[in-house]
Structures are given as C-alpha cells and as structure tokens.
Amino acid sequence: MDEAGGRQAEDDRRDHARIGRGAILIFSYLLATGITSGALYALVALGIVIVYKSTEVVNLAHGELFMMGGFLAYTLHVMARVPYIPSLLLAVAGAFLIGIVTDRVAFRPLIREGLVSVLLATIGVSFILKGLARLIWGGKGDYLAFPPLVSPEPIRVGNVMIMSQQLVVLVAAIVVMLAFALFFKTTRAGKFMQATASNPKAATLVGIRVDRVYMYTFGVGAAVAGASAVLMAPLTLLYPDIGFLLFIKGFAAAVLGGLASVPGAIVGGLLVGILEQFAAGFIGTTVQDVSAFVVIMFALIFLPTGILGARGVRKI
Amino acid sequence: MRLLLGNRAFLVVLFAALALVPVVANQYTVYVGNLMMLYIILAVGLNLLVGFAGQLAFANAAMYGIGAYGAALLQVKLGWPYWLAAPSGALMAMAIGTLLAFPALRLSGIYLALATLAFAQATQWVLLHWETVTFGAGGFAVPEPDFRAVGLRASDGIYYVSWIVTVLLVIFAWRVVRSRVGRAMVAMRDREIAAQALGVDLLRYKAMAFALSGFYAGTAGALYSAVLNFVSPEGFDLFQMVLHKSMVVVGGLGSIVGSVLGAALLVYLLDVLRQFKATQEIVFGALLLGFVLFQPHGVVEFFRRHVPGWDEPLHS
C-alpha cells in the first residue's frame, strides 16, 4: 500500500519533471524564434524611426520599400544567379534609390502642406509600388520562395534547437544595427542627420542643407528596410502584400519603444517579436497576426510616448 | 443661367440620370450605377470626418464591412428581414465608429492614422478568423430582399432603395456642414485649441464626426450586402481604404459635391479597370499622389473657379 503510494508519487514527480522540461523547451524555442523575428521587426522599426526622427513624418510606403528590396534581391539572386552578398548590397542600393524618389515625390513638395498631405501622398506611393510589384512579380497568391543561405540543419545551443538560418539572420540583423549606429556616430552625413533631427532651424543656420539631409534620411530608412527584407526573405515567402504586414509590425515596435527613439525601436521590435511568438504558441497561431494591431492600439492609448520615448510636450 | 450651371443643378441632373438607369439600361449598368451610389455615400461620409472634422482616420473600410456583415449576419443567423437588418447593421457601424472617437481625443495626426489603420486590420482579422460567426475567408451568400409587393425585380428594387437613401444622405450632409455642427467641425480641424477656447466641446464634435461617418459607411455596407447578395472579407480590405481616400481627395477635401463627383468618376474608372488588379492599384495610388501634389483641392476647385453659379462655400 505504502510502497504503491510511493511509486505513484515517484511517477508523478517524474511526469512533472518531464512536463517541466517540455515547457522549458517550448518556452526557449518560442523565445529564440521571437528574438529572430523581433530582430527583423526592429530593423523595420529602425527605418521608420530614422525617418520620423528627422522629418516628424511616418512614411506609410515603408513596408512597400521593404517589399521592393526583397523582390530586387529575388530577381538578382534567384533569377540572375548573382551571389547572395552582392545581391544584398544591390538590393539595399535599389531600396535607397526608391527611398530618395519617395522623398522627391511625396515629401519634399509637400513639406509645407502639412501632415495629412504627406501621409496621403505616401499611401499613394505605397499603392503604386505594390501594383508595380504585382505586375512584375506575379499576382495575388503568388508566393516566391527565396533559397536558404545555409543548410537547414538545426543547431543545438544548450537545451534549445535553433534553425541555423535564424541564427544567421539574427547575427546579420545585429551587424546592420551596429553598422547603422557607427554611421550615425562617425560619418559626416550621420552627424548632419542627427543635427537636423534635433533642431532643423539651427541645422540650417550652421550651413547644413536640410532638404538634402531629409532626402538621405528617406534613402537610409529605405536602405535599412531593403536590408531587413533581404535578410528575412529566406525565412519567409515573398509576395506583393507582405509590405503592409511588416510595416504594421515595425510600426507597433516603433510605437512601443517611442517613435523617436532608436534604442526604443530595437527594444520594441524584440518585444513585439517575442510577444507574437508567445501568443502564437500559447493561444493559437491565428493570434500571431493580430497581436501587432493589439500592441499598437494599447501602446497608443496607454503608453503614447513609448517605453524609451521622451515625455511629450503639447505643442500649440 | 447661374441656376442651370451651378452645383445644385449638377446634383439634380446626376441623380435624375441615376434614377433613370434601371428604365433604360441593362442589368450590368444597373449594378455599376448602384455601386456608384454606394461609393457616393462612402465618400461623403469619409469627407465629413477627414475633410470637415480634420480627423485623418483609416477605419472607413472597416465600418463599411461592419455594416455589411451586420446586416447580412442578422438575416442569415437570426432570420431578420432585410428592412430591419440593414438599419441595424448601419447603427452597429455607427456605434463602433463612435467608440473610435475616444482614442481620437488623445491621439492626432500620425498616431490617429495608424491606430485606426490597426483597428481596420484587426477588424479584417476578425472577419477572417471568427469563422463560427463570419464564415471566414470564403464569405457567404445573403438572401435577396423581396420587392414583389411593389412589382420590381430584386436588383431594381434595391437600386431604388439605394437611390432614395443616397439622396437623403447627401442632402443631410449638405445641411450638416452648413449648421452649427459643421462649423464646429471645421473650427476643430483648423485649430483644435482655438476651437476649444471658443467653446467647441471636442469630445462631442469628434464623437459626432466619427458617428456620422460610421453611419454613412455602415449604411453603404448594408446596401452593398443586398446589391451583391454576397459578403466576404476581401470586399473591405486595404484597397477599399485607398479607394475611399482617393475618391475624397480627387473630388475635393471639404466639399460634399466634390465627394459625389469624385465617387462617380472613380467608380467609372474602377469599372473600366475591373480586370486588372495591379493596374487598379497603380492608377488609384497615382491619382491620390497626383491630386495631393498638383490639385490639392480636388476637381471641385476647377468648377468653383470656372463655372458661374458654383457657390459651394470654401471649407478647404
């Protein structure tokens, strides 16, 4: 009797331990996936924040710049068989150019017209780009697969299995972020951008050509979007409507971190990525897509300045 | 002479012509004419919110969908007659639209735009995934309303219902913008704090603007469910958002007649391009961008300048 009870208790303990280990495994798997996709959202958010910081405008075509970057890389790498790294660089350059064009047609002429005009114009640009992508790379429902960069074998890190692809993407995302930080801190153009962001009038007074800085800002924001698209492409599929999906997630990340804060964009991106994976893992995969919208609405209503954003001053 | 050329004469001629469509034209033209009237309702309602009250919100397509799903589901799930279900659907959209005024009190500009965009996408998600209620991505058929009592085919019957509703709603909007409410909205748009200082209750008038535009969009949705006898989430997606926005901008922000004109023109264009999804996106995106850049007050500005008797007051 006693012995049977003891065995029973022993079994229970073992079961619990197994369930516990399983939970930790799932937990760490979700965390790893969340950090990877979060790093990409952080890059998208970074592009949004760069543009917002210096122009106080959100480029609603940002997602489409991302999408174009992905398709450019696809065309170069898959269709023209250019190696991956040159494809990445060329796609980033292409996105940079589209970003500059966006500034020329949808921002610079409207800078004095006010926010509504700029937002409407960037929506116009986003639909033009989306339509062009649909014309060139196939209609709705055509999903293009980007070949993986490394062998699909998972790697074991401690107790967790990580797809090596994810690891590459994560490392690359960190490299892009660091490169961007260096650009901001050390180059002349980066310093001009910082100066313009903190005070456009003073920047004009010391001889910085503010409109040119805005142009490069749009270009650099687009280039970051292009880079994140090329990194993301092997993990996901490419289709013309992917841009808006990523834009919403990037915007959620940017708002969560404080729309004008670069470290905030990174923290926000990781949070959105992790949150999304946990929602998918513990509630259901369909919830994954909606979590970003919920984050945006709650962040805007209850946390309007973001986690790392400055306290807002009401302008009259 | 002035009376024969002015904005009132334009509306009278347009609606007289629309009234004759079922008598002289084939079924397909009746359908397009009916769509034209629905988009007139949508554009006028959106213009009240964006053009007059100055709230750059992106939830119009969602309200349209809520009206359509509300009316259709009440018929299919609860067996309500169309005459009861349609106004209920419109009121549902109005109620949800009014709730959006609360975030609008704290948010403005980019934040409001993105919060409502996120709301619209969340609505789309609910329509897609709450399958037990909404039937998911495939949509569902809605019974035809019965017009045998007045001796009309269902398509002609719903056409005349749309005609009457459209005329009433256009006249109502016309009256609203000339009333105290309309002036308060314009004051709020031009400078919120100055309007507040003059005694304009922001919550009240924002709520009114959101409620009105929600009601207009919901009404259009309820009619749409009976015109098409089918609803699916795809009918209320991002493309609809850009379509409504370009109608208002092409017609002229802050002009009721402009919205009628913009909707009529763009529905015609939509019909011409109905085969080509990608071309539609490019054309409507380009129209939005082009008008914001080169004709920010819309086509109605041309009539104001060159047609004697076009005496619509300037609200833009």
- In chain B, where the domains are located: 2-306
pLDDT at A313 over 50: no
CA within 13 Å, CB half, B158: 28
pLDDT at A310 over 60: no
Residues whose CB falls within 8 Å of the CB of residue B146, separated by 6 or more in sequence, listed in order: B82, B154
Element (H, E) at A98: helix A84-102
| Residue of B110, B242, B290 with shortest CB distance to A58 | B110
Say if CB A151 and CB A166 are below 8 A apart.
Answer: no
Instruction: Give residue A314's pLDDT.
Output: 46
Q: What are the chain A neighbours of B242 within 8 Å (beta carbons)? A: 123-124, 127
Element (H, E) at B141: strand B140-141
Whether chain A has a CB inside 8 Å of the CB on B115: the answer is yes
Say if CB B154 and CB B146 are below 8 A apart.
Answer: yes
Instruction: Give residue A316's pLDDT.
Output: 42
Instruction: Give residue B64's pLDDT.
Output: 96
Whether chain A has a CB inside 8 Å of the CB on B118: the answer is yes
Residues whose CB falls within 8 Å of the CB of residue B88, separated by 6 or more in sequence, listed in order: B70, B71, B74, B80
Q: Where residue B102 falls among pLDDT bands split at 50, 70, 90?
A: confident
Q: What are the chain A neighbours of B129 within 8 Å (beta carbons)? A: 286, 290
Element (H, E) at A268: helix A262-282
Concatenating the DSSP letter of every residue in B207-252 gives HHHHHHHHHHHHHHHHHHHHHHSEE-GGGGSHHHHHHHHHHHHHH-
Whether chain A has a CB inside 8 Å of the CB on B141: the answer is no
| Residue of A117, A120, A289 with shortest CB distance to B125 | A289
How far is A157 from chain B, CA to nearest CA, in Å? 36
How far is A64 from chain B, CA to nearest CA, in Å? 13
Which neighbouring-strand residues pair with A237?
A145
Percentages of chain B per state (helix, strand, coil), in multiples of 5: 80, 0, 20
Q: What are the chain B neighbours of A252 within 8 Å (beta carbons)? A: 118
Whether chain A has a CB inside 8 Å of the CB on B125: the answer is yes
CA angle, A130 as apex, A125 and A131 as ends, to 5°? 100
d(C-alpha A102, C-alpha A292), whole Å: 26
Supply the pTM of this predicted model: 0.88
Whether chain B has a CB inside 8 Å of the CB on A216: the answer is no
Residue A144, helix vs strand vs coil: strand
- B245/A123 touch (CB, cutoff 8 Å), yes or no: yes
Per DSSP (E only), the strands in A103-178 are 144-145, 154-157, 160-163
Quote the tokens at residue A59. 């480029």
| Residue of B118, B281, B290 with shortest CB distance to A296 | B118
Whether chain A has a CB inside 8 Å of the CB on B137: the answer is no
pLDDT at A315 over 50: no
Say if CB A125 and CB A243 are below 8 A apart.
Answer: no
CATH architecture label of B2-306:
Orthogonal Bundle (1.10)
How far is B97 from chain A, CA to nearest CA, in Å? 15
Average pLDDT over residues A121-142: 84
A interface test, pick of B190, B243, B279, B282 with most A CB neighbours within 10 Å = B282
Q: What are the chain A neighbours of B113 within 8 Å (beta carbons)? A: 58, 119
Whether chain B has a CB inside 8 Å of the CB on A130: the answer is yes
pLDDT at B1 over 60: no
* Predicted ipTM beyond 0.85: yes
Whether chain A has a CB inside 8 Å of the CB on B154: the answer is no
Q: What are the chain A neighbours of B116 within 8 Å (beta carbons)? A: none
Instruction: Give residue A1's pLDDT.
Output: 45
How far is A15 from chain B, CA to nearest CA, in Å? 35
- Which residue of chain B has the CA closest to A125? B285
Count chain A–chain B contacts defined by CB atoms under 8 A.
125
d(C-alpha B89, C-alpha B71), whole Å: 4
Task: Kindly tell me the burial class for residue A168, based on how many C-beta atoms sit within 10 Å of its own C-beta (0-12, 13-18, 19 or more).
Answer: middle
| Residue of B114, B122, B282 with shortest CB distance to A290 | B122
Instruction: Give residue B261's pLDDT.
Output: 93
**Residue that has been written with the tokens 């299995």 in this structure:** A161
Instruction: Give residue A228's pLDDT.
Output: 87
Average pLDDT over residues A150-161: 68
- Which residue of chain B has the CA closest to A109? B293
CATH architecture label of A24-302:
Orthogonal Bundle (1.10)
pLDDT digit string (tens) for A183-219?
888 888 888 888 888 888 898 899 889 888 899 889 9
CA A40 → CA A233, A262, A292, distances in Å? 11, 14, 14
Q: What are the chain B neighbours of A110 within 8 Å (beta carbons)? A: 292-293
pLDDT digit string (tens) for B213-260?
999 999 999 999 999 989 999 888 888 999 999 999 999 998 999 999
pLDDT at A21 over 80: no
Q: What letter does residue B149 receive in the DSSP assignment?
A: G
Average pLDDT over residues B59-83: 92
| Residue of B50, B280, B292 with shortest CB distance to A121 | B292
pLDDT digit string (tens) for B41-70?
999 999 999 999 988 889 999 999 999 999
Q: Where residue A90 falls among pLDDT bands split at 50, 70, 90?
A: very high
Instruction: Give residue B173's pLDDT.
Output: 94
Contact map slice: A 131-160 vs B, CB within 8 A: 131-132, 134-135, 139-140
Instruction: Give residue B212's pLDDT.
Output: 95
Per DSSP (E only), the strands in A106-244 are 144-145, 154-157, 160-163, 237-238
| Residue of A132, A286, A297 with shortest CB distance to B129 | A286
Whether chain B has a CB inside 8 Å of the CB on A48: the answer is no
Average pLDDT over residues A266-290: 84
